[in-house]
A and B are shown apart, each in its own frame.
Chain A
Amino acid sequence: MLLRASSQSLGEEVELDGVVQGVDAVDTRMPASKELVAFADAVVAGSEEELTAARTALLSVASPEEFVDAAGVVGNFERMVRIADGTGIPLDDYARDATEEMREDLGLNSFASAVHTLGS
């Protein structure tokens, strides 16, 4: 939801498919989008070799400061998902209404954690 809101606010409507489908579906109108997604994939689930390659690729298109930001954000959300699912919190009311169509389009309702997060 924040990706859509932030891109719209900047006048840069972004296709969201890459969030779920990965590098091949990333909207390349966003600078360094493929390299950022590949980097996230490698940090979360990649081998050391894959991570080294992703790091090199990201640093070839992003500044050192952007690279450090990316590592911090990936680490941050490895935490956020565990807080959400480890405590079984429901989706916030405002997000439930605002994301109904997006959840359907991206197939998010099939995520395992949707059972408790949607309160269904």
Chain B
Amino acid sequence: MSSKALSNETDRDVLDSVVGDFAGCPVPVRSDLADAHGFVLSRLRRAGTWWTGAERLAIAAESRAANICPYCAERKKALSPYTFKGEHTLAPGTAGVLPYPIIDLVHMAVTDVTRITKKAIDDLADAGLSDAHYVEALGVVVVMRSMDQTCRGLGVPLHTLPSVVDGTPTRIRPENMVEAEAYVPMVPADAFMTEDQDFTPGRGVPNVARALTLVPNAVYEWFVLSNAQYIPSAQFGHVTEGRSLSRPQIELLAGRVSALNDCFY
């Protein structure tokens, strides 16, 4: 494992907590799903590339607070979210942990993501934050959303956020990123990420797999969850391979969730 990467170990206390949550499901939950959730939560409590463990957990908490934030609900109805004034209702304990501009984008990523703009991301610079801070924060938001909505579907409690493990962000920015294709720089289209989170020229990957590559650790967490919740990456291109559900049933769900979120991609 490269020194660029976070720990690949799952904390026993975190995994036990996840397994306990899944025990409340009306049917047995396969162990690889618990392993994936336990692994991702174990990483969330630690310093990442640009945020500390405390900040990453605060981002996770804010991703949940957005669901019940009255300002988010009202702003979503507004013609332009950027001219609608108000204050977010924050998660307990996060005030002062995160700069407000990133809290705003975290809430928006949960409740109104289609109206996030490149300018909104670029404006984070006024708060001393980079595009990489945003990408890592978005990475935390999306793994939380993924785990929380899975728990909601299963009818089990949302996982308890673990306690913080002290550490310092690595602050390593990948080289040779491509600008201008998206709101944030990405790895070139003909490269892919290896298991030690380096980028190697070779076969290309879909843009959605390049989207978070400014922060390779976020991509890795993306892969781990996707392998357990969707299709193992080795089977992705084999469109006849599913799980207990057939692949068409899986893709029906995928398409429907995308449509409900007004996601064109």
Do B264 and A118 touch across chains, with their CB atoms under 8 A apart? yes
* Contact code string A101-120 (vs B, CB < 8 Å = 1, else 0): 00000001101111011100
Please classify how large the interface on chain A is, using the bins under 10, 10 to 19, 20 to 34, 35 or more: 35 or more
CB distance from B108 to the nearest CB of A (A): 8
Report if B100 contacts A (CB, 8 A): no
Please classify how large the interface on chain B is, using the bins under 10, 10 to 19, 20 to 34, 35 or more: 35 or more
Known: A3-B255, A112-B114. A74 touches B263 (CB 8 A): no
Contact of B251 among A2, A85, A109 (CB under 8 A): A2
Q: Which residues of B contact A16 (CB under 8 A)?
A: 255
CB distance from B235 to the nearest CB of A (A): 11
A interface: dominant SS: helix
Report if B96 contacts A (CB, 8 A): no
Known: A9-B239, A83-B222, A85-B265. A68 touches B27 (CB 8 A): yes
Known: A72-B33, A114-B264, A117-B265. A44 touches B255 (CB 8 A): no
Do B153 and A70 touch across chains, with their CB atoms under 8 A apart? yes
**Minimum CB distance partner of A41 in chain B:** B260
In the bound complex, what is the Cα–Cα distance between A3 and B25 (angstroms)?
Answer: 28
Do B118 and A111 touch across chains, with their CB atoms under 8 A apart? no
Known: A10-B246, A71-B153. A79 touches B259 (CB 8 A): no
B interface: dominant SS: helix
Do B109 and A73 touch across chains, with their CB atoms under 8 A apart? no
Contact of A19 among B143, B228, B252 (CB under 8 A): B252
In the bound complex, what is the Cα–Cα distance between A62 and B148 (angstroms)?
Answer: 22
Report if A51 contacts B (CB, 8 A): yes
Do A3 and B263 touch across chains, with their CB atoms under 8 A apart? no
Q: Which residues of A contact B155 (CB under 8 A)?
A: 51-52, 55
Q: Which residues of A contact B15 (CB under 8 A)?
A: none
Do A73 and B254 touch across chains, with their CB atoms under 8 A apart? yes
In the bound complex, what is the Cα–Cα distance between A87 and B206 (angstroms)?
Answer: 14
Report if B184 contacts A (CB, 8 A): yes
Report if A91 contacts B (CB, 8 A): yes
Q: Which residues of B contact A77 (CB under 8 A)?
A: 230, 253-254, 257-258
CB distance from B69 to the nearest CB of A (A): 16
Do B154 and A68 touch across chains, with their CB atoms under 8 A apart? yes
* Contact code string B115-146 (vs A, CB < 8 Å = 1, else 0): 11110000000000000000100100111011
> Which residues of A pack against B, CB within 8 Å?
2-3, 5-7, 9-10, 12, 14, 16, 18-20, 22, 26, 30-33, 36-37, 39-41, 43-45, 51-52, 55, 59, 62-92, 108-109, 111-114, 116-118
Known: A65-B244, A75-B150, A85-B261. 16 other contacts (CB 8 A): A2-B239, A3-B252, A7-B251, A19-B258, A20-B259, A43-B149, A64-B27, A68-B244, A70-B249, A74-B253, A79-B225, A87-B182, A88-B183, A109-B264, A111-B262, A117-B264
* For the complex of A and B, 4 pairs with smallest distance between CB atoms: A75-B150, A71-B153, A64-B27, A3-B251
